[in-house]
């Protein structure tokens, strides 16, 4: 059976550690617990954005993202 695909953007990953919004944090943690049932994608852009966070958070982001490989995303500009 084919897995559904999920793209993780910066806001999803940062929500795991954002204690200012407990309901959002809890929902994100619940979703994180079932990610193995999806083909998960993350971009280099997201990794770059996460690396700009405070060092305490960067360490946490790196810890939870072990095993994720970034996906190249083609950006197209419309004129």
Q: Are the C-beta atoms of residues 25 and 58 closer than 8 Å to each other?
A: no
Tell me if residue 38 falls in helix, strand or coil.
strand
pLDDT at 13: 95
CA angle 45, 50, 55 (to 5 degrees): 150
Query: Which domain range does residue 65 map to?
Result: 4-71
Sequence-separated (6 or more) residues with CB below 8 Å from residue 77: none
Give the count of domains, the chain.
1
Q: Note down pLDDT in tens along the chain; length 79 residues.
A: 899 999 999 999 999 999 999 999 999 999 999 999 999 999 999 999 999 999 999 999 999 998 888 876 666 556 5
Question: Does residue 78 lie within any of the structural domains?
Answer: no
**Model-level pTM?**
0.78
Domain membership flag for residue 79: no
Query: How far is it, in rounded angstroms, from Cα 30 to Cα 36?
Result: 12
Q: Which pLDDT score, from 0 to 100, does residue 28 have?
A: 96
Question: Which pLDDT value is given to residue 70?
Answer: 82
Domain membership of residue 60 (yes or no) is yes
């Amino acid at each position: 059976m084919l897995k559904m695909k999920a793209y993780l953007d910066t806001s999803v990953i940062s929500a795991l550690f954002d204690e200012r919004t407990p309901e959002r944090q809890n929902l994100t943690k619940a979703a994180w617990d079932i990610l193995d049932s999806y083909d998960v994608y993350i971009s280099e852009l997201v990794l770059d954005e996460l690396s700009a966070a405070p060092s305490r958070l960067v360490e946490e982001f790196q810890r939870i993202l072990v095993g994720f490989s970034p996906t190249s995303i083609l950006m197209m500009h419309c004129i």
